[in-house]
Structure 1
Amino acid sequence: MSEQYDLLVVGGGINGAGIARDAAGRGLSVLLVEQGDLASATSSSSTKLIHGGLRYLEHYEFRLVREALQEREVLLAAAPHIIWPLTFVLPHHQGLRPKWMLRAGLFLYDHLAKRKRLPASRAVSFRGTPEGAPIKPVFTSGFAYADCWVDDARLVVLNALDAQSRGAIIETQTRCEALSRQNGQWQATITSSKNGPRTITARAIVNAAGPWVTGMVKQAGLGAKAAGLRLVKGSHIVVPRIHPHDHCYIFQNQDGRIAFAIPYQRNYTLIGTTDIPYDGDPAQVAISEDEITYLLELVNGYLATPVKRKDVVWDYSGVRPLYDDKNSSASAVTRDYVFDLDRGDTGELAPILSIYGGKITTYRRLAEHALQKLAPCLGNQTGDWTAQATLPGGDIPSGDFDAFLANCTAKLPWLDKVILQRWARCYGTRLFAMLGAAQGVSDLGPEIAPGLYEIELRFLMKTEWACCADDVLWRRTKLGLGMKQADIDAVTNWFNDIDASRKVAQ
């Protein structure tokens, strides 16, 4: 007899993890399958911002911006360890958008939704100020406003963790190979890299496969009904830190686009993003030299000390699975989410809900709306609940991260302050579960790579589905940036040794 679930979620990005969490919290039995690692595609390739999307106002997407602005407050309260306020500095460029337009846009941005934690926008002068230090003297003034930073991959993992704590089953390295409607429910063949294929049944499917969403629609036998998908590549580069303060810059470009320059991982600046139509394999997406040149030329139009090609220490690219609204410009294609609900030609109550588009900022609302759409089919009328719930590790008193960090420092005086701050940011209150009974550095196990002890690797493997070095170094910790190849190899070998020990034990 096959396993039976109320809901099968295909895709372990932010939308899939958010929906699995919401559904499990409503008492539904949920299975989420992800073909790779959690957040291994689009959701770890974002600009890592929780923001309303100031530039979307130019495209009249007021509903999307308002919803996103509202979500900033909700998510700040839910996960103050991985989400925090960030000041954005917008220089006024004489040849581009006039000041009145910028001021009007920021006025709307300030007032489309209530603000409790973030300040209003303000005019700034660059003469003799820290904000003006890295900028060419020709730029004398601009504006500052507030949005938020987020560790995108960790946000996905925390949603999956919360889903699991509420009864959902999360399976990574597991593909959905086939789907078919049978007797008013779905039959799915799923294949795990460890355990091979098996068949499960589900009352409903959520297709949150991101760039592979139309492939799943075709797999379900609904190819002729597939909604339009527009794949847009967004690429980022990372360079050594371009300024000492903790503000972000938002630079306008002659083509109407903007780019961000964001403080990143203590010693670096993250620059992005591009918007390029993409028609290749989403799993093989990579930055081009033209994109690197574009980003460098854009930011160098503003910086007093230019960033050079040799300064680029890392890059990454992702594919945004947007709903095709037939806009001729990739930059202007809507970032709003669109649902495609199919309940079958014969009236069977076996729905499949496919998701197109969406922003990481609005994932929680998207999940709510998805469960509202499915409620008539699943018969579950439990109310919305996630707006008031913290994510794992986010139960920090009053959401005051600085006070929490100070408390951690007092309790763990033996721990290196840089490592402690990173752990507090990554794990929040869960860091004490990771440390267990550890009373000193000797209790952390071997230091497998600089700043990465065995106790953390085992915690990530046991509780966060980490299976290999990439899962740890580039998604859950970002420690791969700046790490020597020998250190990366040491982490890889650690996982290989664990796998070998498991095979011997079996």
Structure 2
Amino acid sequence: MSQQIHDIFVIGGGINGCGIARDAAGRGYSVALAEMNDFASGTSSGATKLIHGGLRYLEHYEFRLVRESLMERETLWAMAPHIIWPMRFVLPYHKGGIRPAWLIRLGLFLYDHLGGRKLLPPTAVLDMRSDPAGKPLKPLFTKAFEYSDGWVDDARMVVLNARDAADRGALILPRTKVISARRENGLWTIETVETATGRAQTHQARMLVNAAGPWVDRVIREALGNNEAHHVRLVQGSHIVVKKKFEGTRAYFFQNQDNRIIFAIPYETDFTLIGTTDRDYKDDPKDVRISQEETAYLCNAASEYFREPVTQDDIVWTYSAVRPLYDDGASKAQEATRDYVLKLSDGGNAPLLNVFGGKLTTYRRLSEHALEKIAEAIGAKGQPWTAKSHLPGGDFAAQGYEAEVAKLMGKYPFVEERYARRLVRRYGTRAAVILGNATRMEDLGRHFGGGLYEAEVKYLIDREWAMGAEDVLWRRTKDGLRVTEEEAKYLEEYMAAIPARMAG
């Protein structure tokens, strides 16, 4: 039996759970967090990876959500300029489209003026006959609107929140499933089991936070033994990654004839990311996979715009995830609210907070609102603090990425620019921790393919809870796009041998 009684026990290691744990730990609460798999292994690594206001949410009159999201863009950019950066989006327009030009202009005017834009440039109108953005597109698109939003490495944002929570005293338990949670003598007694070893543990906490994302209803039913009403609408979103379709750093926002939208975004230097789909999902979230129908839809929708069609032969990777939207009774999946809902139940002095919905952009504000509910339930500690904070490695100026790359190359002259850019994009100021005392690339240890060296893998094991090749290749990095099957197998064998080698 664990002797410590935590103030808060969080179930779920996605962006909301890790964000709440970080905020709470920073205010002085005693926090534990359990994630049944790896961090961001569900919804939080399956997004379109945007820090955005949600231009299309204006059509559904979600002004509160859009305003909060717009205000968060520059706050998050300043918090983590290594993994978050601004991006310009080109929205091609053609007469006879589903949205008239005046409506798009009105939406973009609101987008520019609803919330706190200081560093991001404003909306512009482009002549696609002369602007380079028109080159990859069919000639029928002569006009476009251009606006600003942000890009984020979603899985890294999750693990950095977990890392910072741990640095501030939180007990972080990856690959630990909550089997049951029950109220006893005014406290929560939480039974967990480690998925790798089967080791069972018992924890106690004054309050329980259920931030299990797509599994939030299942936790209510199975771990808490409560068959109350259904709260979550599961919506599948799938993406394809193809060989690079266009040059430059701008992304495209395409409107489809079925009233849905997709993005085409520069991805990992050499690729283009296209997505997302929106369809209701009824099965187990862990089994979600892109369907043939979705693959064809994304290829066809993008091909309506690009001169050179997108074919299934272009695809190098796909990913799919389930968004746990709050069930507001919307008729279509793409119309269901993207806003979040927090439900507090007291239950006789052992409060429970259930977290429904949310998105990457609003996770920090969701966490602050959750802390308001926590303060109401078990008493306040500390003040809101995350707005002016930095995630690990992000302690440099919002527009200081280039200077950070130059600084790293100055300190380590043997490092090529592409490798320096990659390290700063992932680790920011902590890139120097990985390079350590190296004076040549050979000092970084064995090479696993792509741009992945042993020194980085060891850092991810020691500091970011990576346990297998998939954790490294598809969540901590995206080197899975560049390594061969043989190299991935070699990495898996290397990582599997590490516990035995350390013990011996």
TM-score by length of 1: 0.97
Name the amino acid aligned to 1:55: R
Find the aligned partners of 1:264 and 1:177 in 2 and give their Cα distance.
38
Task: Map residues 66-145 of structure 1 onto 2, 5 A cutoff.
Answer: 66-95=67-96, 96-145=98-147
For 1:429-460, what per-residue CA distance to the aligned partner results, in whole angstroms no more than 9, with x for missing partners?
01112222222222211113232111111000
1:195, CA displacement in angstroms?
6.2
Unmatched tracts of structure 2, length 5 or more: none
For 1:246-275, what per-residue CA distance to the aligned partner results, in whole angstroms no more than 9, with x for missing partners?
100000011111000000011100000000
More deviation, 28-37/192-201: 192-201
For 1:272-322, what per-residue CA distance to the aligned partner results, in whole angstroms no more than 9, with x for missing partners?
000010011100100001001111111111111111111111100000011
Partner of 2:447: 447
Unmatched tracts of structure 1, length 5 or more: none
1:474, CA displacement in angstroms?
0.2
1:407, CA displacement in angstroms?
1.5
Name the amino acid aligned to 2:188: W
Partner of residue 211 from structure 1, selected from 206, 211, 214:
214
Find the aligned partners of 1:222 and 1:359 in 2 and give their Cα distance.
27
Q: Residues 107 and 8 (structure 1 numbering): CA distance in 2 closer, same or farther, change over 3 Å? A: same
Find the aligned partners of 2:187 and 2:380 in 1 and give their Cα distance.
16
- Structure 1 runs (4+) deviating above 2 angstroms are 219-227, 499-502
Find the aligned partners of 1:206 and 1:432 in 2 and give their Cα distance.
36
3-state DSSP of counterpart to 1:447: coil
Partner of 2:34: 33
Would the aligned equivalents of 1:81 and 1:428 in 2 still touch at CA under 8 Å?
yes
For 1:349-376, what per-residue CA distance to the aligned partner results, in whole angstroms no more than 9, with x for missing partners?
1111111110100000000000101102
Partner of 1:251: 254
3-state DSSP of counterpart to 1:145: strand
Q: Residues 135 and 157 (structure 1 numbering): CA distance in 2 closer, same or farther, change over 3 Å? A: same
For 1:448-503, what per-residue CA distance to the aligned partner results, in whole angstroms no more than 9, with x for missing partners?
3232111111000000000000000000110001321111111111112214435x
Q: Is 1:342 aligned to residue 345 of structure 2? A: yes
Find the aligned partners of 1:303 and 1:147 in 2 and give their Cα distance.
22
1:399, CA displacement in angstroms?
4.4
More deviation, 95-104/432-441: 432-441
Would the aligned equivalents of 1:15 and 1:208 in 2 still touch at CA under 8 Å?
yes
For 1:117-163, what per-residue CA distance to the aligned partner results, in whole angstroms no more than 9, with x for missing partners?
10110111100321000110011001000000000000001111111
For 1:208-230, what per-residue CA distance to the aligned partner results, in whole angstroms no more than 9, with x for missing partners?
10111011112354634345210
Would the aligned equivalents of 2:408 and 2:432 in 1 still touch at CA under 8 Å?
no
Would the aligned equivalents of 1:13 and 1:38 in 2 still touch at CA under 8 Å?
yes
Would the aligned equivalents of 1:340 and 1:353 in 2 still touch at CA under 8 Å?
yes
Partner of 1:290: 293
For 1:14-47, what per-residue CA distance to the aligned partner results, in whole angstroms no more than 9, with x for missing partners?
0000000000001001111101100001000000
1:377, CA displacement in angstroms?
1.9
1:4, CA displacement in angstroms?
1.8
More deviation, 380-389/239-248: 380-389
Partner of 2:356: 356
Name the amino acid aligned to 1:8: F
More deviation, 194-203/62-71: 194-203
RMSD (CA atoms):
1.2
1:339, CA displacement in angstroms?
1.1
1:408, CA displacement in angstroms?
1.4
1:328, CA displacement in angstroms?
0.6
Would the aligned equivalents of 1:397 and 1:404 in 2 still touch at CA under 8 Å?
no
Q: Is 1:158 aligned to residue 163 of structure 2? A: no
Partner of 2:492: 492
Name the amino acid aligned to 1:97: R
Would the aligned equivalents of 1:217 and 1:226 in 2 still touch at CA under 8 Å?
no
3-state DSSP of counterpart to 1:128: coil
Partner of 2:22: 21
More deviation, 419-428/212-221: 212-221
